[in-house]
Chains A and B, each alone.
Chain A
Amino acid sequence: MRNRLKVLRAERNWSQQDLADRLDVSRQSVNAIETGKYDPSLPLAFRIADLFALPIEDIFQRD
């Protein structure tokens, strides 16, 4: 699965740690999701979508 997390984060000028704090996860988690090494669970994907005020499919796309 591809995602636009890095772009969305950069648009807001947030570091990985900033995003991690907002999502209440570790910076490792943000890094793993951004680099495509880990696909988040549906609850976490919804939290990410809520944070960016976007539908999930605008953040995560099929390969």
Chain B
Amino acid sequence: MSRKMSPAARRYTLRLAVLMTAYVGLLFFARTIFDHGMAHGPIAYILALLPALPIIGVFWAVMRLIVEETDEFVRLLHVRQCLVATGFCLTVMTIWEWLQNFDLVASGNGGFGAAFFWFAGLGVGALYNRLTLGTAGGCA
């Protein structure tokens, strides 16, 4: 990302800040309700899904960044970053699941789901951009 942020990048940064703040707040709220044994029935499902909503929102924000960015080269960087992230995430999850299928690693994911590896993949994508095109891209 250039030092002078594009309007699309500024909107993305603002959206990310709002969504991450919402994530922390909703996670704390849901955790507190569960820890106090107050979550039952359908409400428990709704509460459990609340922290997922801002994470889904981040996927939306990244896609909006790609759509709204008017600089074609910067947009290319974002697209490459997302493609690498998707490939990285699918690769890690596939390997992990097959190791689990043969009971070589424990079941469950220890809190590290697909979203975690996709976001980590954005970092890998930024590195790939840096190495191949000389600049990283902005959605890491």
- Partner among A25, A37, A44 whose Cβ is within 8 Å of the Cβ of B133: A37
Q: Is the CB of A32 within 8 A of B73?
A: yes
B74 at interface, CB cutoff 8 A: yes
Which residues, 59 to 85 on B, are CB-close (under 8 Å) to A? 70-74, 76-77
Interface size class of A (residues with CB under 8 A): 10 to 19
CA distance A39 to B134 in the complex (A): 15
Contact with A along B111-140 (1 / 0, CB 8 A): 000000000000000000000011100000
- What's the Cα separation between A28 and B73 when bound, in Å? 8
Interface residues on B, range: 10 to 19
Chain A 14-30 near chain B by CB (<8 Å), digits 1 or 0: 00000000001111110
Question: In whole angstroms, what is the CA distance A56 to B80 when docked?
Answer: 28
Give 16 pairs: A residue, B residue, CB < 8 Å, sorted on A: A24-B70, A25-B72, A25-B73, A26-B6, A26-B71, A26-B73, A28-B77, A29-B72, A31-B134, A32-B73, A32-B134, A37-B134, A38-B76, A40-B72, A40-B73, A44-B72
User: Which B residues form the contact surface with A (CB < 8 A)?
Assistant: 2, 4, 6, 70-74, 76-77, 133-135
